[in-house]
């Protein structure tokens, strides 16, 4: 995989140092904001990628887990005063638990059927939260109580603190992915993503592995939901179950390099930084420019470079260090 010329340990250590030190070097808090977005959406992307990238189960409904995680911790905090740190874990567990019935339904379907059924699931959850006001504030939503600087309640005066929380989450997701990628489960995921029947033929319990990875992916996505709501101070069904979350999760993975450890991080970095810069350059009156550019990047990746940015980087590396064969696809080696 990527980064084999430089010893991976050194590469990761250097990256970690840069990531931790970066906020100190930022001229204004705005850049820290961009970094928070990069870390958060990378995290969601990495979580999605476990299911969508490695196992090729192209979910377009991850907002379901994001929203369930977000609502769990917010209900716990606002109604019962439970710290979002605990709520975050509870939200992850609720999301993972919800993945079981959702998986039981959607995994009966393959390919585009599966994708559409996941969209429908997330939509139904959103509509239910809109309809049943007794459940959690209905359409009006609620704001997070303003507690000032209260780290134990996941509220910080310093913006950098939010960044470190997001970064820690991202690190967790990367470590989880790395461990899975290097274990039997990684092989099983890629195998079933390639050909479910053939995987079954060599003893892969495809439904069970799908269930497990779906639960892990949902758990992580649920954590992201809590962090996000704490960060934007507000929750309503349209925010928590936003189709955009589902799309962004898939998009960053595909643009960065689907089924690779670092792909979602690279993809998010490109898309978010592009978007933030466009935003600050153009101010109001952007009028669709940004999403047009997103769409063009996505189409270019699909048509020209299905390996995404990871593919470009490995090519560049190979050209520098000799070799120079164009990577057409990500290959999983033993």
Partner 1 sequence: MADALVVRDLSKRFGGLLAVQSFSFSVAENETMALIGPNGAGKTTSFHLITGYHRPDPGSSVVAFGRELVGLKPHDICAFGLARTFQVARPFGHMTVLANVMTGAFLRGRKLEAARERAREAIAFVGLEARAHTPARDLTTIDQRRLEMARALATEPRLLMFDEVMAGLNPSEIDQAVALIGKLSGRGLTIIIIEHVMRAIMAVASRIVVLDHGQKIAEGEPKEVMSDPDVIRAYLGSGYAAKPAAGEAPC
Partner 2 sequence: MKFQIKARTVSRSRRRFLAGSAAAALASGPITSFAIVRDAKAAETINIGGLYPVTGSLAQTGQDCVNAAKLAVKMVNDAGGIKALGGAKLNLILSDIQSDTTVTRTETDRLISSYKLAAIHGCYASALTLIASEVAERAKMPLITGSSSDQLNQGNRHYTFTPFARASQFAKTQLEMSKLVSDHPKVAVVFENTAFGTSTSAGIREQAPALGVDIVLYEPYSAGFADAGPLVNKIKASGANTLFPVSYLNDLILIIRTVKQAGLKLAINGGSGGFVMPEFQKSVGDLAEGLLGVEHWNHDTDADALKVNAEYKKQYGEFIFEYGGGLVAQTFMLAQAMENAKSADPQKVRDALAVLDVSSGFAAMCPGGRVKFGPGGKNIYGQPVGVQWQKGDLVSVFPKSMAKAKLMQA
Partner 3 sequence: MLITLAQAVVNGLLIGGIYALVSIGVTLIFGVVKVVNFAQGEFVMLGMYVSFFLATRLGMDPIVSLVVSVPVLFVLGMLLQHYLIRRVLGLGDMPQIFLTFALSLLMMNVALMAFSANYRTIQTAYSNLALHFGGLYVPVPKLIAFAVAMGLSALLWVFLKTTDLGKAMRAAAQNYDVAMLMGINPDRVFAVAVGIAIALAGAAGSLLMAFYPAYPMVGQVFVLMAFVAVVLGTLGNVTGALIAGLMMGVAESLGIQFVGADSGMIVVFVMFLVTLMIRPNGLFGGWAR
The per-residue b/e assignment along 42-53, b for 16 or more CB within 10 angstroms, e otherwise, is bbbbbbbbbbbb
Residue of the chain from 10, 150, 198, 232 that contacts partner 2 (CB under 8 A)? 232
> Phi and psi at residue 150, in whole multiples of 5°?
-135, 80
**Contact window for partner 3 (CB under 8 A) among 20-28, 146-154, 247-255, 260-268:** 247-255
**Does 201 interact with partner 1 (rule: CB under 8 A)?**
yes
Residue 246 parent element (H or E): helix 243-256
**Does 283 interact with partner 2 (rule: CB under 8 A)?**
yes
Contact 229, 66 (CB under 8 A): no
**Does 205 interact with partner 2 (rule: CB under 8 A)?**
no
Q: Which is nearer to partner 2, 205 or 244 (CB)?
A: 244
Residue of the chain from 206, 278, 289, 298 that contacts partner 1 (CB under 8 A)? 206
Contact residues for 328 (Cβ-Cβ < 8 A; gap 6+) = 306, 307, 311
Integer CA distances (angstroms), 78 to 54, 137, 327, in order: 37, 11, 50
Segment 86 to 115, residues that bind partner 3, using CB under 8 A: 105, 108-109, 111-113, 115
**Does 182 interact with partner 1 (rule: CB under 8 A)?**
yes
Is 197 exposed, middle or buried (CB count within 10 Å of its CB: 0-12, 13-18, 19+)?
A: exposed
The dihedral through the CA atoms of 255, 262, 34, 10 has a sign that is: negative
CA pair distance 119, 64, nearest whole angstrom: 9
**Does 134 interact with partner 2 (rule: CB under 8 A)?**
no
Residue of the chain from 41, 65, 71, 188 that contacts partner 1 (CB under 8 A)? 188
Residue of the chain from 127, 295, 316, 320 that contacts partner 2 (CB under 8 A)? 127
Closest of 238, 256, 217 to residue 47, by C-alpha: 217
**Does 130 interact with partner 2 (rule: CB under 8 A)?**
yes
**Contact window for partner 3 (CB under 8 A) among 174-182, 210-218, 232-240, 302-310:** 302-310
205 interface partner picked from partner 2, partner 3, partner 1, none, CB below 5 to 8 A per type: partner 1
Least distance to partner 2 from the beta carbon of 139, Å? 5
> Phi and psi at residue 92, in whole multiples of 5°?
-60, -40
116 interface partner picked from partner 3, partner 2, partner 1, none, CB below 5 to 8 A per type: partner 3
Contact 69, 95 (CB under 8 A): yes
Residue of the chain from 108, 110, 133, 208 that contacts partner 2 (CB under 8 A)? 133
Residue of the chain from 49, 239, 307, 314 that contacts partner 2 (CB under 8 A)? 239
Segment 45 to 74, residues that bind partner 3, using CB under 8 A: 56, 58
**Does 303 interact with partner 3 (rule: CB under 8 A)?**
yes
Least distance to partner 3 from the beta carbon of 63, Å? 14
Is 203 exposed, middle or buried (CB count within 10 Å of its CB: 0-12, 13-18, 19+)?
A: exposed
**Does 325 interact with partner 1 (rule: CB under 8 A)?**
no
Contact 52, 256 (CB under 8 A): no
Contact 125, 242 (CB under 8 A): no
**Does 296 interact with partner 2 (rule: CB under 8 A)?**
no
27 SS3 class: coil
**Does 28 interact with partner 2 (rule: CB under 8 A)?**
yes
Closest of 127, 164, 145 to residue 76, by C-alpha: 145
Instruction: Give contact residues for partner 3 (rule: CB under 8 A).
Output: 56, 58, 105, 108-109, 111-113, 115-117, 119-121, 123-124, 127-128, 130-131, 247, 250-251, 254, 258, 287-289, 291-292, 294-296, 298-299, 302-303, 306
């Amino acid at each position: 995989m990527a980064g084999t010329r430089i010893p991976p340990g050194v590469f990761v250590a250097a990256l970690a140092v840069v990531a931790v030190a970066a906020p100190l070097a930022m001229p204004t808090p705005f850049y820290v904001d961009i970094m928070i977005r990069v870390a958060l959406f990378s995290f969601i992307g990495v979580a999605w990628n476990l299911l969508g990238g490695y196992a090729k189960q192209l979910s377009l409904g991850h907002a379901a887990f994001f929203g369930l995680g977000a609502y769990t911790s917010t209900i716990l905090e606002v109604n019962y005063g439970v710290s979002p740190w605990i709520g975050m874990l509870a939200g992850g567990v609720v999301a993972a638990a919800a993945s079981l019935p959702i998986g039981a339904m959607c995994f009966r379907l393959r390919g585009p059927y599966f994708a559409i059924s996941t969209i429908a699931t997330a939509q139904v959850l959103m509509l239910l939260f809109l309809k049943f006001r007794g459940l959690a504030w209905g359409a009006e939503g609620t704001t997070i109580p303003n507690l000032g600087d209260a780290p134990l309640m996941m509220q910080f005066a310093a913006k950098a603190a939010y960044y470190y929380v997001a970064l820690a989450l991202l690190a967790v997701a990367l470590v989880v992915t790395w461990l899975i990628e290097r274990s039997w489960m990684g092989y099983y995921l890629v195998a079933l993503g390639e050909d479910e029947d053939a995987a079954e033929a060599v003893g892969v319990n495809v439904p069970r592995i799908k269930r497990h990875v779906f639960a892990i992916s949902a758990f992580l996505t649920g954590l992201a939901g809590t962090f996000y709501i704490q960060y934007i101070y507000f929750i309503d069904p349209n925010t928590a179950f936003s189709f955009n979350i589902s799309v962004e999760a898939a998009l960053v993975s595909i643009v960065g390099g689907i089924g690779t450890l670092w792909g979602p991080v690279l993809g998010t970095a490109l898309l978010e930084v592009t978007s933030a810069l466009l935003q600050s350059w153009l101010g109001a009156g952007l009028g669709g420019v940004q999403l047009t550019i997103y769409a063009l990047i996505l189409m270019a990746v699909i048509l020209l470079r299905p390996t995404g940015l990871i593919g470009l980087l490995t090519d560049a590396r190979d050209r520098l260090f000799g070799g120079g064969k164009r990577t057409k696809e990500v290959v999983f080696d033993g």
